[in-house]
Amino acid sequence: MTSVKLHDTWTPSSWQRLLAGQQPNWTDPGDLERTLLALAAQPPLVFAGEARSLQQSLADVSRGEAFLLQGGDCAETFAGFSADAIRDKLKILLQMAVVLTYGAQLPVVKVGRIAGQFAKPRSSDVETRGDRKLPAYRGDAVNDLAFSEEAREPDPARLERVYHQSAATLNLLRAFTRGGFADLEKVHLWNQEFVRDSRQGQRYAAVADEITRALRFLRACGVDVANDPTFHTVELWTSHEALLLDYEEALTRRDSLTGDWYDCSAHMLWIGERTRDPDGAHVHFLSGVGNPIGVKLGPTATGDEVEALASRLNPTNEPGRLTLITRMGAQDAPERLPGLVRDVTQRGLAVVWSCDPMHGNTFVSETGYKTRRFTDVLDELRTFFGVHTQEGTTPGGVHIELTGEDVTECLGGAQEIIDAQLSHRYETACDPRLNNKQSLELAFLLAEMLRR
């Protein structure tokens, strides 16, 4: 069957006819079935119209008229769920966005890896510690991080917990972004106490002062700052890797306005490096929903593969529908990225180019922690901007694993975190994230790259 024919017969469950990698071995199919039925009866988390608005904003990004900032945890967890944690994740994204907007004088499209990022693809099905082998941790959506037989058993009831935690997270985010917290007049309050005295914190405070002065200036000129919502609310979109297709299917709904299908678990969904087979189930599933879609591209990605992906995911070549998230690693990017960008451009494919400088730069440190060097992250970003400038294409955005907390998971940055310090606050359930100060520092460096 050709993919076009398959697409003609697309339904939310037609992916089940294809090979789906990275799916859990649920022990009891009956349990899974009951959970999925319950989820299918729940209200959607987002609306189709919102996904369409995001796609419009991403079309702006593709033309170089806006910049995409996508970021958040590698994996959200049930244990890490609290109002404070959500607020702090929002704060750092807002701070970075302000630094970028102010520094690069471009609107920033803010997309969180949040309110649904609970499932992880794994390189190996098993984890070995000493002489014990257990099923790998696949994210809180599937099993538990603790290293025991019982914890690693996949449990479908977790999918319902994911839904409810995502709903509560999104509810708070909507309240924060609409209810005054994200007000530009509060720009100083997003600077966390433990950051204020650092160089990044002071630099941020200087930007915040400038913004406060600019707002006063506008008011003095007669602009009705108090009543213009532009100054008091922000749009924060949600995204996660669409990995567990049963879950995504259960939250897929037909839009009553257009009759089109949307995956209402998040505004934007992406396909990971391990599941981007153009003929696989993940690509097929997402080909049928109207949301904007991202695809991760590692160092082996080719123009032919991208064309095959685009022909399925974006056959009408709509700007903003498809975001290519390159994650080649600082070492491979200079060699791999220019050819790929040229090839995709020559094929006339409308895409947003984004850079994930995290997933190609992971290694295990001497003290045994999975980590990343801040300098490698920067190197890959510099290559990304350099290549797109050279090729005459648009470096549209970044995709970062970060947290609002003061963790010690990535090496370097202005705090110069060293290997021996990783153990102080290593809290991630999966990959190492930039901490608050490293993220802010990155935003300032990114703003410089964007200005150039």
Residue 277 makes contact with ligand PEP by CB under 6 A: no
Residue 296 makes contact with ligand PEP by CB under 6 A: yes
Residue tagged 């070549």 (tokens): 317
Taking CB under 6 A as the criterion, the residue among 103, 139, 201, 272 binding ligand PEP is: 272
User: Site mask, ligand PEP, residues 60-79, x = CB under 6 A?
Assistant: --------------x-----
Phi-psi region of 287 (alpha: psi -120 to 50; beta: other; left: phi over 0): alpha
CB of 207 vs ligand PEP, minimal distance in Å = 29
- From the list Co ion, ligand PEP, none, pick the one residue 417 interacts with, judged by a Cβ distance below 5 to 8 Å according to partner type: none
User: Which string of DSSP letters, residue by residue, matches 26-72?
Assistant: -S-HHHHHHHHHHHHTSPPSS-HHHHHHHHHHHHHHHTTSSEEEEEE
* CB 155, CB 170: distance < 8 Å: no
CB of 113 vs ligand PEP, minimal distance in Å = 7
User: Site mask, Co ion, residues 423-452, x = CB under 5 A?
Assistant: --------x---------------------
DSSP state letter for 188: G
Beta strands in 103-259 (DSSP E): 108-113, 126-129, 132-135, 236-241, 252-254
Lookup: tokens for 380: 């890959």
Q: Which of residues 351-370 bind ligand PEP (CB under 6 A)?
A: 359
User: Site mask, ligand PEP, residues 241-270, x = CB under 6 A?
Assistant: x-----------------------------
For ligand PEP, the closer of residues 98 and 358 by Cβ is: 358
CB of 362 vs Co ion, minimal distance in Å = 8
CB of 181 vs ligand PEP, minimal distance in Å = 27
CB of 327 vs ligand PEP, minimal distance in Å = 5
Q: How many residues does the chain have?
A: 452
- 3 state SS of 176: helix
Q: Which of residues 310-339 bind ligand PEP (CB under 6 A)?
A: 327
CB of 33 vs ligand PEP, minimal distance in Å = 28
- Backbone CA torsion sign across 334, 335, 340, 345: positive
For ligand PEP, the closer of residues 15 and 270 by Cβ is: 270
Between CA 323 and CA 147 the distance in angstroms is: 36
Between CA 279 and CA 281 the distance in angstroms is: 7
CB of 270 vs ligand PEP, minimal distance in Å = 8
Crossing angle between the packed helical segments 157-178 and 29-40, to the nearest 10 degrees:
30
For Co ion, the closer of residues 243 and 286 by Cβ is: 243
CB of 401 vs Co ion, minimal distance in Å = 5
Between CA 264 and CA 2 the distance in angstroms is: 27
User: Site mask, Co ion, residues 53-92, x = CB under 5 A?
Assistant: ---------------------x------------------
Q: Count the site residues for Co ion by CB under 5 A.
A: 2
> Do β-strands 370-371 and 363-364 pair in parallel, antiparallel, or remain unpaired?
antiparallel
Lookup: tokens for 162: 């994911």
Q: Residue 236 is inside which H or E element, if any?
A: strand 236-241
Q: Which residues bind Co ion (CB under 5 A)?
A: 74, 431
Contacts to ligand PEP by CB under 6 A: 74, 121, 241, 272-274, 296, 327, 359, 431
